[in-house]
Chains A and B, each alone.
Chain A
Amino acid sequence: MQWEIVIGLETHAQLATRSKIFSGASTAFGAAPNTQASAVDMALPGVLPVLNKAAVELAIRFGLAIGATVAPRSVFARKNYFYPDLPKGYQISQYELPVVQHGSLSFVSPEGGEKTVRILRAHLEEDAGKSLHEDFHGMSGIDLNRAGTPLLEIVTEPDLRGAKDAVAYARTLHALVRWIGICDGNMQEGSFRCDANVSVRRPGAPLGTRCEIKNLNSFRFMEQAIDYEVRRQIELIEDGGTVVQETRLYDPDRDETRSMRSKEDAQDYRYFPDPDLLPLLIAAADIERVRATMPELPQARRERFQSEYGLSAYDADALTGARESADYFEALVKAGAAEPKLCANWQTGELAAALKRDGLEIAACPVSAAALGGLLRRIADGTLSGKMAKEVFEAMWAGEGAADAIIEARGLKQISDSGAIEKLVDEVLAANARSVEEFRAGKEKAFNSLVGQVMKATKGKANPAQVNEILKRKLGA
């Protein structure tokens, strides 16, 4: 019997402001405990929140990027609950009127094709502090450095139909928030956190009872957790049970989700508009001002890469995974050294492999686009063979200088003098009569062996295309 999986994601993206959403304390990560908590963050008696304009602008950027409505009027509300790392006893969030409403995001599904997820809302809120339960011998420490850090909570409609799609959406969203510069996307530091609402149903049936899974702090865990949860729910129902609405925590060590609290235990957060903050009014002019600073978005760029540079959808997608990557590619093409296709091959091939090997982001790439362009120019003009180019690239990566200097120093110039190559071919043909016989008998492999002999004789410097051509001519093929 068929089951349909229904998933909605809630993502908390930490906004890349310098100061907190309601105070002037720094948001930098990793400071000594409680050194970046101001009177406001500590909720001293009498303090009041003041909204950080930068956080609002970043929320507007997001709204524009997903084609959403940026609410002309939104309202901050208090979500009331007690916890030691929630200093005020309430979190300032947005409830009935969020700042971003009704957008959508398209992503490339691993199962093929492009899919679109509706985004119900994105609202501004403040983060809580951290409770530190280790190191304190039966007590807990509270670090309020994170308290008041601005978050954008991004909530989708239940439009996703599988763990792989959920991950693909999350990756696309992750790339987008970094692309438009509103979030650094650092998942280890908690800058980008996802919760998943998962349910299953028979195709065409109404939505099943959902469970919320928390603690999905990597894409890998997200997929595993959703897969586990889907299996759990299906087995439960097939065994005659019913799914109970609850919050579950994913435990990556045991690869399972565990019940955290049921709906009956759910708190009544007693939301009400925060009287310390006025309604947030965003004028059309404010939105236009932000729009003017928006970069070309990933999807538009992906399409342009295909139409303008003739790239495949696959290459265009790979190159637009991050804004820096797409910028690198265009700089490479603009260097004018080689065809876009060659540029794309090198960036997604050698360059990407080297970056991955050394664990570097493209922004920290030791070989600039201009430098790589210098290398590609020598491939295009026939100076270097592919194999030689790889050697030069490694040398450039190691910091040995520009491509031309390395070619010079290592004597890596390709032999493209047809007279010299013909002479070599004649020698090889004379010395390998057997291979020649085999080729003439119809063995294609023998031809490759002959090419290899020529290349060997030139220590790989002969232009393989020329070698091929001359060989074929001589063999009368």
Chain B
Amino acid sequence: MLNSSVTEIAAALAERKVSSLELTQLFLERIARLNGELNAYITVSAERALADARAADARLAAGERGPLLGVPLAHKDIFCTRGLPTTCGSKMLANFVSPYDAHVIERFARAGAVMLGKTNMDEFAMGSSNETSYFGPVRNPWKTSAVPGGSSGGSAAAVAARMAPAATGTDTGGSIRQPAALSGICGLKPTYGVVSRYGMIAYASSLDQGGPMGRSAADLAALLNVMAGPDVRDSTSLERPAEDYTRELGRPVEGLRIGLPREYFGAGVDPDVAARVREAVRWFEARGAKTVEVSLPNTRLSVPCYYVLAPAEASSNLSRFDGVRYGHRAQDYADLREMYARSRAEGFGAEVKRRIMTGTYVLSARLLRRLLPAGAEAAPPGGPRFRRRLRAVRPDPRAHHPVDRVRAGRQDRRSGADVPQRHLHHRGEPGRPARPVDPLRFRHRRPAGRPADRRRLLFRGAHAGRGARLPAGQRLACPRADRDAAVSVRLRLLILSAACAGTLLGCGSVQEPAREIGGITGGEAPASAPAASRPPQPRSPQAKSGAAVVGAPARLNISSVCNARDEAGYAGIDPRRWPTVRCASCRQGSRCPGAARAASSSPTSARRATRRTSS
């Protein structure tokens, strides 16, 4: 059962061949056995998992069926979970217990999934090796001296090591796709807005997106079906009809067109990785897919843009962690300013501080004036041209860099390891819809492309690769009509994100971990090979597609905003359930009279919750 896919597990549960409780216990035992070595979980919620499992069994016994009913899952510790610690991999939130569930968590709960626990991650999702976690590095199950990638490294390792059938992750600049690649599983960064960010702790709001991590395209589709959908609590969530992401599974890849951006095969790509991408491309061609070389000349701007935009937003997003209301507060300080300084100095790790400093710097008035020419808004770099070319998406071998070795305890990694992942996020692709560089003039656009095209490319391609001995996966692109390039034929652009293709492929090539991990014997053996070239390269599906139309700017039309009724109590949690406000300059934490007073006027205690649930 440990080696079964989500789909298989759901089928077994539906046929009552196994109970959710048995399954959950099986996974909990495996976690107990392996977590000491791999450190994939920060919190294991055994009690909650068993309760979830019993509830699911009851629903199953009552005749209810569902693709995730009773299936155990792990969640990245960036999603808020009511009653469980939500640490975001940081000392700052080491004792934080959320009073509410993230949208994604609610959705999985409604679908009857079982929550095994919260997985390790780079601190506040800043990193790509999982070494910046306050709770220690995660190890790659394929080779424990290697990193699993990051920031969703805990989820990747947990899935790879069969400590969970599938898991959630979040991706800002590669944080799902890259660890999935390095850990030999599949991962998908959905189009920005597909998955609600409500309850997902923000790193760079305009790029963050939650997504599924699993061992096959089919599993990703099953998870995404549950995660995706509009949410009135997230203004940036896309309003569009529900899709069935499993629909394209099993359909042929013949006729799909895959764009190969020249720039992605240029300097800086590991030759081993590039070779495997080409191999993957040939695999698709052999099955009837067409490939077209395209050019995305502004690709070179993507990384610099990322390192302006993401830290800028992060510096603001992380301001709320000030020790006033929750989270770490220094023990000793003379005044308010020092309370802030010490609490944040103690609570944040080096990489987080570095990005906050960078972001604060780039947002400073003096620098902004220098960075931004007047009228920058009118012509976002690469605007229309980039979008046109982008109608195809492309394999990006540069995303696949050799796996670093774990440097335990090293918290001050340089950001360089992140570099290769960024391009698409700044455009209309799975990342955030088109973004100018100008951090003062961000815009939100609806992603181009028809969902159906994306879906077709992604899942059909990915699923087709299942079982195939294709080497690494990469992002494959299916071009579409390029008016300005006067391409006479309408190119159907498939953007198979690597993941897609690759993942799919990847999934095929690495069905099992190579060496025995905790009693499971792997199928194929990547054992001695450099980890980098081995695991498949799940990349996110970058679906931009055929008849894609560049969307109109998303509107916050006043007739469609959520709180349209102006009714008190309409959104959010019952305020009385979270009365924890502590005094600004209090040295005594919860014993402070100010907090006590504030608390005495409300039903629950003002003491901040500090206990971790059982593990």
Residue contact B320 to A52, C-beta cutoff 8 Å: no
Interchain CB contact under 8 A, B592 and A139: yes
Considering only residues 226-253 of chain B, those with a C-beta below 8 Å from chain A are 232-236
Whether the pair B441, A273 counts as a contact (CB closer than 8 A) is yes
Taking a contact as CB atoms closer than 8 A, the residue among A33, A85, A140 that contacts B585 in the complex is: A140
Q: How close is B232's CB to chain A, nearest CB, in angstroms? A: 7
* Complex contacts, A135 vs chain B, CB 8 Å: 597
Q: Are B567 and A143 in contact (CB under 8 A)?
A: no
Rounded to whole angstroms, the CA-CA distance of A258 and B579 in the bound complex is 36
**A44, B86: Cα distance in complex, Å:** 11
Asked if A280 and B594 sit within 8 Å, CB to CB, the answer is no
Q: Which of B552-597 contact A (CB under 8 A)?
A: 553-559, 561-573, 575-576, 578-579, 581-587, 592-594, 597
Query: Is B417 interfacial (CB 8 A cutoff)?
Result: no
Pair A84/B236 contact, Cβ less than 8 Å: no
Q: Name the one of A18, A39, A143 contacting B573, with C-beta atoms under 8 angstroms.
A: A39
**Once bound together, how far apart are the Cα atoms of A78 and B206, in whole Å?**
14
Q: Mark A256-282, 1 if CB is under 8 A from B, else 0.
A: 000000000000101111011111111
Which chain B residue has the least Cβ–Cβ distance from A80? B316
A59 to chain B, nearest CB (A): 10
Question: Which residue of chain A has its CB nearest to the CB of B231?
Answer: A48
Interface stretch, picked from A19-27, A388-396, A450-458, is: A19-27
A90 CB–B CB distance under 8 Å: yes
- Judge if A469 is at the interface, Cβ distance under 8 Å: no
Q: Are A275 and B442 neighbours in the complex by a CB distance under 8 Å?
A: yes
Which residues of chain A are near B198, meaning CB under 8 Å?
46-48
Residues of A within 8 A of B319 (CB): 80, 82, 88-90
**Closest CB in chain A relative to B463 CB, distance in Å:** 33
Chain B residue nearest in CB terms to A85: B584
A190 CB–B CB distance under 8 Å: no
Which B residues are CB-close (under 8 A) to A84? Answer: 322, 324, 336, 584-585
Q: Does B399 contact A (CB under 8 A)?
A: no
Minimum distance in angstroms from B341 CB to a CB of chain A? 10
In residues 174-191 of chain A, which contact B (Cβ within 8 Å)?
A: none
Residues 102-151 of A contacting B (Cβ, < 8 Å): 131-132, 135-144
Contact check, A137 vs B593: say whether CB atoms are below 8 A apart.
yes
Query: Quick one: which of A17, A36, A90 contacts B575, CB cutoff 8 A?
Result: A36
Q: Would you call A136 and B571 a contact (CB within 8 A)?
A: no
Q: When A34-B579, A272-B440, A279-B444 are in contact, do A44 and B326 touch as well, CB less than 8 Å?
A: yes
- Contact A272:B442 (CB < 8 A) given known A44-B326, A53-B558: yes
The number of residues on chain A lying at the interface, defined by a beta carbon within 8 Å of a beta carbon of chain B, is 72
A96 located at the interface, meaning its Cβ lies under 8 Å from any Cβ of chain B in the complex: yes
Distance (whole angstroms) from the CB of A271 to the closest CB of chain B: 7
Asked if B96 is at the interface of the complex by the 8 Å CB criterion, the answer is: yes
Query: Interface size for chain B: under 10, 10 to 19, 20 to 34, or 35 or more residues?
Result: 35 or more
Say yes or no for B307: interface residue by CB 8 A criterion: no
Complex CA distance for A46 and B79, rounded to whole angstroms: 8
Q: Smallest Cβ distance from A320 to chain B, in angstroms?
A: 29
A37 to B316, CA, bound (A): 21
Contact between B553 and A279 (Cβ–Cβ < 8 Å)? yes
Q: Which of A45, A49, A272, A280 contacts B558 (CB 8 A)?
A: A280
The answer to whether B581 touches A144, judged by C-beta atoms less than 8 angstroms apart, is yes
Select the stretch in B17-25, B357-365, B475-483 that faces chain A.
B357-365
A17 to B566, CA, bound (A): 7
Kindly state whether residue B457 has any CB partner on chain A within 8 Å.
no
Report whether B320 and A45 are in contact in the complex, using a CB–CB cutoff of 8 Å: yes
In the bound complex, what is the Cα–Cα distance between A271 and B601 (angstroms)? 36
Contact assessment for A38 and B98 in the assembled complex, using a CB-CB cutoff below 8 Å: no
Question: Contact: B584 with A140, CB < 8 Å?
Answer: yes
Please state if B602 and A142 are interface contacts (CB–CB under 8 Å).
Answer: no
Which residues in A have their C-beta under 8 angstroms from that of B582?
Answer: 142
- For residue B125, CB closer than 8 A to chain A, the reply is no
Interface contact B205-A33, CB-CB below 8 Å: no
Is A56's CB within 8 Å of the partner chain B?
Answer: yes
Report chain B residues within 8 Å CB of A41.
Answer: 572, 575
B320 near A89: Cβ-Cβ < 8 Å: yes
Please tell me if the beta carbons of B322 and A82 are within 8 angstroms of each other in the complex: yes
- Measured in the bound complex, the distance between the Cα atoms of B174 and A103 in whole Å is 47
Least Cβ distance of B231 to chain A in Å? 9
Is there an interface contact between A142 and B581, defined as CB atoms closer than 8 Å? Answer: yes
What distance in Å separates the Cβ of A41 from its nearest Cβ neighbour in chain B? 8
Decide: B563 and A40 in contact? CB cutoff 8 A.
no
CB pair B440–A96 under 8 Å, yes or no, is: yes
Contact B232 A50 (CB under 8 A): yes
By a CB distance below 8 angstroms, the chain A residues around B234 are: 48, 50
Q: Which A residue sits closest to B601, measured CB to CB?
A: A32
- Contacts A82-B340, A96-B440, A281-B555: A35 and B576 contacting too (C-beta < 8 A)? yes
Contact A24 B100 (CB under 8 A): no
Q: Is A379 an interface residue (CB 8 A)?
A: no
Residues of A within 8 A of B581 (CB): 33-34, 37, 42, 141-144
Residues of A within 8 A of B598 (CB): 33-34, 141-143
Give residues of chain B (162-217) contacting chain A, Cβ–Cβ below 8 Å: 197-202, 204-206
Chain B residues in 8 Å Cβ range of A36: 575
Q: Tell yes or no: A424 within 8 A of B by CB.
A: no
Of chain B, the residue at the smallest CB distance from A75 is: B441
Chain B residues whose C-beta falls within 8 Å of the C-beta of A446 in the assembled complex: none
Q: Which residues of A contact B363 (CB under 8 A)?
A: 80, 270-272
Q: Collect the chain B residues with CB atoms within 8 Å of residue A278's CB.
A: 235-236, 444, 553-556
Task: Give A80 to B318 CA distance when docked, in angstroms.
Answer: 11
Q: B429 near A: Cβ within 8 Å? A: no
In the complex the two chains form, is B439's CB within 8 Å of A272's CB?
A: yes
CB distance from B482 to the nearest CB of A (A): 29
Pair B324/A44 contact, Cβ less than 8 Å:
no
A8 at the interface (CB under 8 A from B): no
Q: Separation in Å of the B218 CB from the closest CB of chain A?
A: 29
| Nearest-Cβ distance from residue A311 to partner chain B, whole angstroms | 38
**Residue A87, interface by CB 8 Å:** yes
Contact B566 A26 (CB under 8 A): no
Closest to B563 in A: A52
Chain B residues lying within 8 Å of A143, measured Cβ to Cβ, are 581, 598
Task: Give Cα A88 to B326, complex, Å.
Answer: 12
Q: B444 touching A48 by the CB < 8 A rule? A: no
Question: B residues within 8 A CB of A33?
Answer: 581, 597-598, 601
| Neighbouring A residues of B197 by C-beta, 8 Å | 46, 48
> Which A-B residue pairs are the 5 nearest by beta carbons?
A89-B319, A38-B572, A54-B566, A84-B584, A24-B571
Seen from chain A, the residues whose Cβ lies within 8 Å of a Cβ on chain B are 17-19, 23-28, 32-57, 78, 80, 82, 84-85, 87-90, 96, 131-132, 135-144, 268, 270-273, 275-283, 286
Contact sample, A vs B, 22 pairs, CB 8 Å cutoff: A19-B567, A25-B569, A34-B579, A34-B598, A36-B575, A42-B581, A45-B320, A45-B321, A50-B233, A51-B562, A80-B319, A84-B585, A88-B319, A135-B597, A136-B594, A270-B364, A272-B312, A275-B313, A275-B444, A276-B205, A277-B235, A278-B553
Given pairs A140-B594, A273-B442, 19 additional interface contacts (CB within 8 A) = A24-B567, A24-B568, A25-B568, A34-B575, A34-B598, A43-B325, A45-B201, A45-B321, A46-B80, A46-B202, A50-B232, A51-B561, A85-B584, A87-B324, A89-B322, A132-B594, A140-B584, A275-B206, A282-B558
